[in-house]
Structure 1
Amino acid sequence: MANDELLIKDEVWLRITQLEYKMKQGMSKEAFEKEVRRIYIEEMGEELPADMKVYSSNESGDLESDYDGTAIYFENEEKSINQLYVISQGSNDPGDWLYNAIGLFQGKDASQAIDVDTFVDEAKKEFNISDKEMLTVGLGHSLANNNNLTAQVLNQSFNKIYGVNGAQINAYQLYTADEFFARKVNNQFDLPLKDKNAIYTLPPHELEQFAVEYIEEKIDTSSIRQL
């Protein structure tokens, strides 16, 4: 198998992404793992060929935002399976909707996207795994897609990202979170350094195009699949 993606089939990762919302509602790790294995059998026609461990953001003490997510680690040394899937959760409570308004729409908060990378690092420590030959995949719906994509630009957190009905990267939010991008924007458009709101005076289509070019330089966009 040579570490081929276990959850690459759309029906599999979509169903597991939907299932993750139940973790916020109190589903146990044991029940979650049982459902993941059931989904895999139903869609793939065979048992999941790996041991599985689960880590929830509910267990974290280091996240500074309302970010929610679940990490799944698949391992089978004999079959060279070494894969970490991080399912970032979409909008699910009032805190998320407030973040949507301030972060996604106004571009003034990227704390959940920053916490994606924190959670990925935490999961690796929890599972006692290193990056050596490990595949790390981000899954997400809605707000979660924005968080995963933005985290990818900021920290290259994933090897691949899959998203469904996803909010896209916000250039204003990227300006808030990425100091290097902010400097490039300031230089390109000759913005005053001390005026954080000057970016809102730029023609949106020009800023968007500049952001797209920057993103394509930072990450491999072919590794992103969106439905």
Structure 2
Amino acid sequence: MTVSPGLRRSLRTGLGALGLSLTLLSGCFDTDRGPSPRPREFYYPTGLVTSPGGRSLFVANSDFDLQYRAGTVQAIDLERLRGLVARLQPPAADGGPGTGQVRCEALGLATNDASDSILYPGACAPIDLDAPPDGQGTLVRNSVNIGAFATDIQVMRQPDTAFPGEQGEAGGPNADGSTRARLLLPVRGDPSLTWIDIDDDTGGNQTFQMACGQGTSGRCDDAHRTGVD
């Protein structure tokens, strides 16, 4: 069979493009390249969930454009955040409910222009997570690294028996007498179901701890990523 010069050129071009595409795809999820994610900034967040007792807000950041070498899960101090939001709607003079009018100046925030409501739908400019107006330091109390493209985040309370590998004692299902909860995140970049142990603050304190075998690298280990060979 004789192949025309034009067809040969087309085949070479097509195969070259395919090879380049495969090369790029093979490097998309290289966790050894690119800058580390910024632990105190949202970056393409795809999921929010509160702790069982409502004292912490957990945010899944997907790193959708692969700007960084990982996505993140952040623990936000929700009690402090509620206090800040409450200052935007002060109560009426008689102590009753407020008028519902948002007062951005109460937190030193600029007012968003109504003409930009599609890009900036809130009434006020955003609160700086790292330097909020209450002057008590960052609202981001903890952060761990996960794979790219997390699509959701859910929380599960611990049952009456210990999690696998833990031995319970009187007063709680874990060896230290405490109870815990678990975050579950489907992550397409691994792909895996990543899980992270957190405080069950239903009847106790919130320490903002997140345990997923991250060690000094800050990244959840393979033992906490179901589906990774």
State the TM-score, normalizing by the size of structure 2.
Answer: 0.21
More strand by share: 2
State the TM-score, normalizing by the size of structure 1.
Answer: 0.21
Greater gyration radius: 2
